[in-house]
Amino acid sequence: MTRDPRYDILFEPVPIGPLTARNRFYQVPHCNGMGHRLPGAVAAMRGMKAEGGWAVVATEECEIHPSSDFSPFSEARLWDDGDVARMARTAEAIKAHGSLAAIEISHNGHEAVNRFTRLPSMAVSDVVVLAYDPAQAYAMSKRDIADVRRWHRQAALRARAAGFDIIYVYAAHNLSLAFHFLNRRYNRRSDEYGGSLENRTRFLRELLEDTREAVGDTCAVAIRFAVDELLGDAGIAAGNEGRDVVEMLAELPDLWDVNVSNWANDSVTARFGEEGAQQPYIEFVKQVTSKPVVGVGRFTSPDAMVAQVKRGVLDMIGAARPSIADPFLPNKIAEGRIEDIRECIGCNVCVSGDYTLTPLRCTQNPTMGEEYRRGWHPERIAPAASEARCLVVGAGPAGLEAALALAQRGYAVTLAERAPEPGGRINLESALPGLASYARVRDYRLGQLRRMANVDLYPGSELDAENVLEFGAQHVALATGAHWRRDGLGRQHWQPIPGADSGNVYTPDDLMRSKLPEGRVVVYDDDHYYLGGVLAELLVGKGHPVTLVTPAPDVSHWTHNTLEQMHIEKRVRSLGISVVNQHALHTIGAGGVTLSCIYTDVPRELAADAVVLVTSRAPETALYDRLDSDTEALAGAGIQTLTRIGDCLAPGTIAAAVYAGHRYARELEDTSLDPDGAPFRREYVELP
């Protein structure tokens, strides 16, 4: 296939200072949960992006000194010369594919609590640390400022020694010391670094000048700057000081990487922001600088990318999440394979890796974070180990992914689904408010499967045990999913909730299948992910008075890990939904419920005509139980393996289901795996 000429503009080279990027695709800095602890994993992941066609691939933020310790988060580090070799692995992996390697060095000021190093935190002024730690940061002296400038310069030199081509000065996301100096909320200095905007910009200007003087002869110098905090006059905004800063420093860096702050706004989920949502804030930048500009907007459409360039908004298409969902997105556009792009769904499961201190993961791309430790490649997979036939029962996210990966290996695959349409839980959840992008998980896989000659897809086909035994497959994967429990068992309740068997109790499955309650509704959320808040929003939209009750401290508590919680809480409260936190559902009655404080057990009565229980799910195991109980029948039918995957085994996120399906397909008939050891390669700490 050949590239559509409409997209030729995306493959034009872009000069960046003394360097040239081979196209306009730019993987901006993003965290990954691996950082300095797993340098091999980071290098393999970044190298995969370069192989996939991204002309510039950047690291996550890189701490420059022990006083910028961001523990427990695992970011990159260039504290001293001992870190150079570890960082060089990433630069080498990126440059091996002809891409430019960028590094975002930074001191985090009062965002750095220094939990590991136990150094006192430093800040532009005497302020509390931004984390919920019982600590404060001290106001930097002139000597401290000189020290940070020296550390920043040393880190830039180490970055160049490690092989990086583009060195960042970081002033974004409310995370960096340079941004804190700019910000009137924090900068209360009365010397030449405080007061006027020119003074507050001084430190950022000095870092740019220092970096250029240190490495600018061979490396490009980039700035990452948040032009708007979305706080109006209370913060930096594109209409006032954000624009002023860009105008003051317009020609000083070799590239402007611009966004909005904070991270939850910059990486807003699809539920709260559309593709290209940052354009109104950043579009002025190219009007005031001659240097190339990169920006983000969760771009997955090549037409939208072209429009950004032609309208003069961006010179380079920045991406973090789309490059995670499909590291080969640029190559697929170049090769005319638009239909093969795995489009980011904007769920931010990727972000949860950073917050849970675990390797990066992705709903759309199950190989993300597994490039090093499992050797998984997003576009290549080992051929089938035999001519065995495979039967996958259930076409939800796990079944669709298992069938696709098995077929890519070369197995003959039959995928049976009892519902009229494939998709499973995706069909139900993607119809809820704000979750339409989740349908991409289904649509991508169905689009691929329907083009493959070795796949037979049978929707509307419910199989019983006899059907499976008669089918003639050697390998059977059961992806029959799960259903939401009606008895209330979950994290808070290990026994059924009294009254849960009454007629006014509903489950998420009921609501998603249009079986709706009447009158006043209590949504009881003991799941703590997105669904409780979404269902409350759905019910309000249908005209119901709604109270959301949760044992957690706040609404959809786990979504702190996906940068959504503040947006969800704001949405819920703005819709007039009453919220009762830190209370368990004690009993359910005909006209109301009794709650109890999770700390004191003090009861509280609440009027309600119906209750929606969002607690936990029960796996659909009837078919598995029937088959697994008759080993003789399995052997007689020639079935060598019978495996539960996804929600049928362990209900979880859609990302977990996709991963389970992919892992099953990768590992089928793989005799190299050690059943008694770790299923992946580990990285060990080097001891002196």
pTM: 0.96
Q: Residue 687: pLDDT above 80? A: no
In angstroms, what is the C-alpha Rg of the chain? Answer: 27
Please compute the mean of the pLDDT values over residues 250-271 and round it to a whole number: 95
Q: Establish whether the linkage from the previous residue to 675 is cis, with ω within 30° of 0.
A: no
Q: Is the dihedral of CA 159, 163, 169, 172 positive or negative?
A: negative
Look at residue 635 and give its three-state secondary structure: helix
CB-count exposure of residue 439 (10 Å: 0-12, 13-18, 19+):
middle
308-365 pLDDT, tens digit each: 999 999 999 999 999 999 999 999 999 999 999 999 999 999 999 999 999 999 999 9
CA-CA distance, 672 to 600, in Å (whole number)?
Answer: 54
Q: Which residues pair with 83 in a beta bridge?
A: none
536-578 pLDDT, tens digit each: 999 999 999 999 999 999 999 999 999 999 999 999 999 999 9
Using 50, 70 and 90 to split pLDDT, how confident is the model at 239?
A: confident
Please, what are the domains in the chain?
Answer: 5-355 (3.20.20.70), 389-481+620-667 (3.40.50.720), 485-617 (3.50.50.60)
Task: Write down the pLDDT at residue 517.
Answer: 95
- Tell me the pairing of strands 19-21 and 14-16: antiparallel
Which candidate, 534, 363, 543, places its Cα nearest to that of 438? 363
Q: What is the mean pLDDT of the chain?
A: 96
Which candidate, 59, 296, 280, places its Cα nearest to that of 162? 59
Which candidate, 86, 143, 79, places its Cα nearest to that of 112? 79
According to DSSP, residue 201 is labeled: T
Q: Residue 169: pLDDT above 80? A: yes
Asked whether 301 and 329 are in contact (CB, 8 A), the reply is no
Q: Residue 686: pLDDT above 80? A: no
Task: Write down the pLDDT at residue 499.
Answer: 96
Task: Write down the pLDDT at residue 320.
Answer: 97
Using 50, 70 and 90 to split pLDDT, how confident is the model at 210?
A: very high
Contact partners, residue 12, CB within 8 Å, separation at least 6: 23, 24
DSSP letters spanning 62-127: EE-SGGG--TTS--EE-SSGGGHHHHHHHHHHHHTTTPEEEEEEE--GGG---TTT-PPPEESSSE
Q: Which residues pair with 592 in a beta bridge?
A: 607
- Tell me the pairing of strands 603-607 and 592-597: antiparallel
DSSP letters spanning 432-487: STT-GGGHHHHHHHHHHHTT-TTEEEETT----HHHHHHH--SEEEE---EEE-SS
Other CB atoms within 10 A of residue 252 CB: 18
Active-site positions read 31, 170, 173, 266
Q: Residue 135: pLDDT above 80? A: yes
CA-CA distance, 247 to 240, in Å (whole number)?
Answer: 11
Number of H helices, E strands in the chain: 24, 29
Q: Residue 448: pLDDT above 80? A: yes
19-28, 162-171, 226-235: segment of lowest average pLDDT: 226-235
Q: Helix-strand-coil percent breakdown of the chain, rounded to 5?
A: 35, 20, 45
56-100 pLDDT, tens digit each: 999 999 999 999 999 999 999 999 999 999 999 999 999 999 999
Task: Write down the pLDDT at residue 130.
Answer: 81
Look at residue 59 and give its three-state secondary structure: strand
41-53 pLDDT, tens digit each: 999 999 999 999 9
Contact partners, residue 485, CB within 8 Å, separation at least 6: 507, 613, 615, 616, 617, 618
Task: Write down the pLDDT at residue 314.
Answer: 98
